[in-house]
Chains A and B, each alone.
Chain A
Amino acid sequence: MTVYAVPGTPGSKVTFKSRYENWIGGEWVAPVKGQYFENITPVTGKPFAEVARGTAKDIELALDAAHKVAPAWGKTSPAERAAVLNKIADIIDANTEMLAVAETWDNGKAIRETLNADIPLAADHFRYFASAIRAQDGDHAQLDGDTVSYQFHEPLGVVGQIIPWNFPILMAVWKLAPALAAGNAIVLKPAEQTPVSILVLLELIGDILPPGVVNVVNGFGLEAGKPLASSNRIRKIAFTGETTTGRLILQYASANIIPSTVELGGKSPNIFFSDVAQEKDAFYDKAQEGFVLFALNQGEICTAPSRALLQKSIYDSFLGDAVTRAGKIIQGNPLDTDTQMGAQASNDQLEKILAYIDIGTKEGAKLALGGERVDLGGDLTDGYYVQPTIFEGHNKMRLFQEEIFGPVLAVTSFTDYDDAISIANDTIYGLGAGVWSRNGNVAYRAGRDIQAGRVWVNNYHSYPAGAAFGGYKSSGIGRENNKLALGHYQQTKNLLVSYSENKLGFF
C-alpha cells in the first residue's frame, strides 16, 4: 500500500501553480478579459488553483497561433511527426506518477486507475498513432492505360477539440494523437471541471511541439466552447459529451459545412448467459468481476456496463455473489493505492446521481446495495463520494434508460437469447456492451446482434490503442482509438493524371 502525498505538501509528486493561464502559441497567455475561475478537487471539495476563464477573444488568439503554424506543420513528414509523438510518449512514461497524482487530484478517481490505465494508455496512444501515420499509404488506381488516379491524405488544417472530464488527459490524448499525427494544428478546450491536469502535461511536452501546434484555452462551454465550435476558422470540430450539446455542435458544424465527430454516451448492457455459472471456476470469477466493473472510475465512463442482464436460471445466485463482491469495494482516499473507488468528479454530478437513486426508488426498483452518499470523514468529508449502488428492476424504468454516469447499476433478467438481445437493444444508445458466455457461438452471435460500436466478449472496460471505439444510434458519430481516426482528421486529395499525348477529340 502506498498513499501519495497531497499535491503541494512535502513529498508530493506534483505541486500545482496557484494560477494557470491559457497555452497559446507555445507560451502561457493571460486571458484577454483577465478573469479566472477556481478549480475544485473532488477529493476534498476544496479549490486548489485558479484557471483562465477564456472567452471568444482567447479562442481567436489560439486560432491565430494555430493558423500561423498549420501550413508548415502540415508539410512535415510523417516520420518527423511520429518522432514528436514518440517523444511525447516517452516523457509521459517518465512522469507517470506525477501525472497520475495530478489527474487524481483534478478528477477524483482512484490513483490505482491513473497509474495503471489513464497515464500508460495515454503514452501508448501516442505511440500507436506515431506508427499508424508512418504505415499509412495513399491509394492509386490505373483507370486506363494512360490515366492514373492518385489519392493523397492531407491534413484538414486547424481543428477544434472539446474534451470531457471523466478521463481528462486520456480523452484529450484520444483526440490529440490522431489529429497531430495527421498534421493538424489544434485548439483544445478541456472540461471546466478538470482544466488543470492537461496543463500539467503541457508543461512537460509543450516545448517538443512547434509553437501553436497545440493550443489550450480553458473556460466555460458558453463562453469558450461555443466560440470554438461555431468558428468559421476551424475545419473540423470533435466533441465528447452529451446529446444536447452534441446536437448543438453538429448544428454549428452544419453552419460552417465542416465535419464533426461526436461521442455522446451510452447505457451499455452487460449480458450474462446461464453457462457462465456452470462451474465456480476462474471464468466464473472473471465474469463476477465483469459485473462489478460498473463501479470502475466511479461509473463515470461513457461505456460503463450500467445495465446488467442476467439469464433467469442463474439470476438469484449470480446476483447474490456479485452483490457480495460489490459490497467489498474499498472506498477511501483516492491517493491511496488500495482505494478502489474515488470521488465523483463534481458536486452537481454527485447531486445528479443521488437524484437518480431517488427516482429509481420511486419507480419501484429494488435496492440491492448502497444508495447513499458516503462521508469519509477528516479532510475528505466534503469530497463527492457515493456508495456503489445496485438496483433490480425492468428495462422501461428511467434507471435503465438514462446515463447516470455514476456507480449505479440497474439489473434485470432475461429468459432466452432473443429476450436478451431485445432488452439489450431497447435503448437510444449504442456505445458499449458486454457478452459473457462459455459458448463461443452464442457469444459471437450476440456480439453481432447488439447494436453497439464496441462489444466486449468475455471481458469489459479494456481500451487498448488499435481497437476502434465509437457509437451506434444516439451515441454519436465517428471512431477513435484506431487508425480509422486518422480519416477524421484528413482530407482526400485526388490527383487525376493523364499520361497520354492524345486529345479527347471533342472540340
Chain B
Amino acid sequence: MSTPTITASVTIAGETIPRVELRPVAVDLLRSLWEEYGPLMFHQSGGCCDGSSPMLFMAGEFITSDQDVRLGQFDLAPTGGPAQPLDFWMSIEQFNYWSHTFLTVAVVPGRGSGFSAEAPRGVRFLIRSELMTTITPFAGPAAIPA
C-alpha cells in the first residue's frame, strides 16, 4: 500500500481546520528516522542560512515555551500500529506572520540543516505553502494562551 499524505490534528484552541500536512515522501522519511532515533518533533525555523525551514529534533530536545505555538500533531503510525505522535511547533512571533498559510512538509535533495536530523541522509525538509481560504475559522495568534 502506498504511503498516504498525513494531515496534522488541530491543536490550537478554538480552531477547526488543520494547518500542516506531510507529503508521502516526508512520511516515509520520518518513519525511517523514527526507527533510527525514536520520537521526533518539528520546530519551524526563521532567518539566516538554513532557516525558514522545519527543523527535526528528537522529541523534547528543543525546549518549547510559552513563546511557541503548536500548529498541529501528526501520527506517523501505519493503520492499526501504536501511536507515533509528532508535534509541529513555531515561535509565536513568527506565527504572527505565517498564520494565514497552510504548510506542507516536503523533502528535497540537499545539505543544509542546522541540527536537523535528516541532514546525514542527503535530504532536507522544505515547507511549501498555500493561502488558507479564509481567516475567520482560525483563532489566530491572539487566542493562543500566553
> B131 — which chain A residues lie within 8 A by C-beta?
362-363
> A348 — which chain B residues lie within 8 A by C-beta?
53, 108-112, 124, 126
Which residue of the partner chain A has the closest CB to B120?
A: A220
Q: Which of A265, A355, A359 contacts B47 (CB 8 A)?
A: A265
> A87 — which chain B residues lie within 8 A by C-beta?
none
Q: Is A125 an interface residue (CB 8 A)?
A: no
Instruction: Please determine whether A355 and B51 come into contact, CB atoms closer than 8 angstroms.
Output: no
Instruction: Please determine whether B97 and A398 come into contact, CB atoms closer than 8 angstroms.
Output: yes
How many A-B residue contacts, CB cutoff 8 Å? Answer: 162
Q: Is B129 an interface residue (CB 8 A)?
A: yes
* Stretch with Cβ within 8 A of B (4 or more), from A66-74, A197-205, A244-252: A244-252
Instruction: Please determine whether B97 and A401 come into contact, CB atoms closer than 8 angstroms.
Output: yes
Instruction: Please determine whether A53 and B120 come into contact, CB atoms closer than 8 angstroms.
Output: yes
> B110 — which chain A residues lie within 8 A by C-beta?
346-349, 351
Instruction: Please determine whether A251 and B63 come into contact, CB atoms closer than 8 angstroms.
Output: yes
- Most B C-beta atoms less than 10 A away, residue of A244, A248, A356, A359: A244
Q: Is A266 an interface residue (CB 8 A)?
A: yes
Instruction: Please determine whether A192 and B48 come into contact, CB atoms closer than 8 angstroms.
Output: no
Q: Is A153 an interface residue (CB 8 A)?
A: no
Instruction: Please determine whether A248 and B115 come into contact, CB atoms closer than 8 angstroms.
Output: yes
Q: Is A7 an interface residue (CB 8 A)?
A: no
In chain A, positions 384-421 with a C-beta closer than 8 Å to chain B are 396, 398, 401-405
Q: Is B94 an interface residue (CB 8 A)?
A: yes
Q: Is A453 an interface residue (CB 8 A)?
A: no
Closest-CB distance, A112 to chain B (whole angstroms):
22
Please tell me the number of chain A residues within 8 Å of chain B, measured between CB atoms: 55
Instruction: Please determine whether A242 and B49 come into contact, CB atoms closer than 8 angstroms.
Output: yes
Q: Is A86 an interface residue (CB 8 A)?
A: no
- A244-B44, A347-B108, A398-B101 are contacts. A265–B116 as well, Cβ < 8 Å? no
Q: Is A504 an interface residue (CB 8 A)?
A: no
Q: Which of B43, B119, B120 contacts A244 (CB 8 A)?
A: B43
> B128 — which chain A residues lie within 8 A by C-beta?
355, 358
Give Cα A351–Cα B125 distance, bound, in whole angstroms. 10
Give Cα A385–Cα B46 distance, bound, in whole angstroms. 23
In chain B, positions 43-96 with a C-beta closer than 8 Å to chain A are 43-53, 55, 57, 61-63, 91, 93-94
Q: Is B127 an interface residue (CB 8 A)?
A: yes
- A244-B43, A405-B49 are contacts. A222–B126 as well, Cβ < 8 Å? no
Q: Which of B108, B113, B127 contacts A220 (CB 8 A)?
A: B113
Q: Is A243 an interface residue (CB 8 A)?
A: yes
Q: Is A302 an interface residue (CB 8 A)?
A: yes
Q: Which of A40, A243, A356 contacts B45 (CB 8 A)?
A: A243
Give Cα A244–Cα B46 distance, bound, in whole angstroms. 7
Instruction: Please determine whether B127 and A355 come into contact, CB atoms closer than 8 angstroms.
Output: yes
- Most B C-beta atoms less than 10 A away, residue of A348, A349, A428: A348
Instruction: Please determine whether B126 and A264 come into contact, CB atoms closer than 8 angstroms.
Output: no
Give Cα A247–Cα B126 distance, bound, in whole angstroms. 20
Give Cα A363–Cα B97 distance, bound, in whole angstroms. 12
> B26 — which chain A residues lie within 8 A by C-beta?
none
Instruction: Please determine whether A221 and B51 come into contact, CB atoms closer than 8 angstroms.
Output: no
Closest-CB distance, B98 to chain A (whole angstroms):
7
Instruction: Please determine whether B111 and A242 come into contact, CB atoms closer than 8 angstroms.
Output: no
Which residue of the partner chain B has the closest CB to A345?
A: B112
Instruction: Please determine whether B48 and A405 come into contact, CB atoms closer than 8 angstroms.
Output: yes
Which residue of the partner chain B has the closest CB to A225?
A: B115
Closest-CB distance, B24 to chain A (whole angstroms):
18
> B130 — which chain A residues lie within 8 A by C-beta?
362
Closest-CB distance, B122 to chain A (whole angstroms):
8
> A263 — which chain B residues lie within 8 A by C-beta?
48
> B43 — which chain A residues lie within 8 A by C-beta?
244
Closest-CB distance, A257 to chain B (whole angstroms):
16
Q: Which of A37, A165, A247, A402 contacts B49 (CB 8 A)?
A: A165
Q: Is B20 an interface residue (CB 8 A)?
A: no
Instruction: Please determine whether A166 and B49 come into contact, CB atoms closer than 8 angstroms.
Output: yes
Q: Which of B52, B57, B117 contacts A242 (CB 8 A)?
A: B52
Q: Convert A236-263 into 0s and 1s, putting 1 for each residue whose CB lies closer than 8 angstroms to a CB of B.
A: 0000111111111001000000000001
Q: Is A373 an interface residue (CB 8 A)?
A: no
Q: Is B114 an interface residue (CB 8 A)?
A: yes
Q: Is A352 an interface residue (CB 8 A)?
A: yes
Which residue of the partner chain B has the closest CB to A263?
A: B48
Which residue of the partner chain A has the closest CB to B55?
A: A244
Give Cα A197–Cα B18 distance, bound, in whole angstroms. 45
> B127 — which chain A residues lie within 8 A by C-beta?
355
Please report B residues at the A interface, Cβ cutoff 8 Å.
43-53, 55, 57, 61-63, 91, 93-94, 97-98, 101, 108-117, 119-120, 124, 126-131
Cross-chain pairs A/B with CB under 8 angstroms, 23 sampled: A192-B113, A221-B115, A221-B119, A222-B115, A226-B115, A240-B49, A241-B47, A241-B114, A242-B47, A242-B52, A242-B53, A243-B45, A244-B43, A264-B51, A300-B49, A302-B49, A358-B129, A359-B129, A362-B129, A402-B46, A404-B52, A405-B48, A474-B93
Please report A residues at the B interface, Cβ cutoff 8 Å.
37, 40, 53, 164-166, 191-193, 220-223, 225-226, 240-248, 251, 263-266, 300, 302, 345-349, 351-352, 355-356, 358-359, 362-363, 396, 398, 401-405, 428-429, 474-475
Pairs of residues from A and B, 4 with the lowest C-beta to C-beta distance, nearest first: A348-B110, A242-B51, A265-B47, A265-B48
Q: A251-B63, A398-B97 are known contacts; what are 16 more A-B pairs with Cβ within 8 Å?
A: A221-B113, A241-B47, A244-B51, A244-B62, A244-B114, A245-B50, A248-B114, A263-B48, A264-B51, A346-B112, A347-B109, A351-B110, A359-B101, A362-B130, A362-B131, A403-B48
